[in-house]
Structure 1
């Protein structure tokens, strides 16, 4: 009887141990899932503002340590408010999901695209200087204009367009890259002031408008310096 009781206790202990290990694995998986959810935009499924902030700090440190370029694009849809006003938020949400899917096609796996506001997106481009960033931004503008989605107006439907601000990491600033996002945000508003549907780089000195893109590629080349160029598709050259 003593031997049987001992075997029973050993069996019970082993079973309890296995149950505890299983519970630990379930808790670990749940934590990973919750962490992923905390970094994901609930509507579009792409990264959210928290994920952007976390990755941005890491990329700024890496860029400064290795002397590599780092750029940010701030993307804001033009006249998006009319979608919600005329067709309701459900339709607006559907457009945002479609936009996120379209935008993702313009970026590499090493880039990060995050939704940071209602119709605002930020793209983080590691190992990418300003010239290459502008090329990517031009692609974003073109892709959105050619998408099947459209911005409803009272009298017609117009192509879905966006204003994009581009900024590259400079030597100054030690706030985890927040200044980089702010500079791209300011450039985006300048793009809107110039009619939208285009790209403006962060530069306080000039804001020239051109109708064609640059010849650079999104290949991580260490091109530098903001140019303040507005690229409006199909627009004539001129000053702001």
Structure 2
């Protein structure tokens, strides 16, 4: 394996007038290709800020974030947009599905932005939905799907560009216990197939499904530990 993500001395400071708030205070971490890592911490610990940096939605105030060896601080907004669209798949607590569009239409959206021809878009969207177990639901709209199924559509949309990294921010926060098990089982399958996954959560039971936990508190990673899942076959 090789490091897909490298964080070195990463700080993030927000300023409002004369007031400063340091959300990240010198984060060092590495995540290897194919790892399944959960970042866990309480509200206000810096999880969301770290997620925004990992997703190239923001850049560090100080330090370096290397994605596949490329320093994101050296990239302009156009280059960062390409990374967000093609190399990172996002899954959020809110599903962010368009209610008037079918499942496959929702899944194809990243391909639309990438300029992929229509016929190829549908083929790849249906393949992604099949991959997450929704082959029989490709023409259903979000309102016709359960919460767990809607999150699976969101995962399919994240996977349709075959990204280097799947970044999931509290992906089970709006799900009941059955749907939570369903979606976490899907993440287990994706990890077993070699996908790199970083999951942001405040729930210990969810974090325990990952190979490794990075515990963040007050803007610092305070613990880096393997979980019981690290011993499970991948």
Fold shared by both chains (TM-score > 0.5): no
With the length of structure 1 as denominator, give the TM-score of the two structures.
Answer: 0.24
Q: Which has the higher strand share?
A: 2
Task: Between the two structures, name the one with larger relative contact order (CA 8 Å, sep ≥ 6).
Answer: 2
Q: Which has the higher helix share?
A: 1
Bigger radius of gyration, 1 or 2?
1
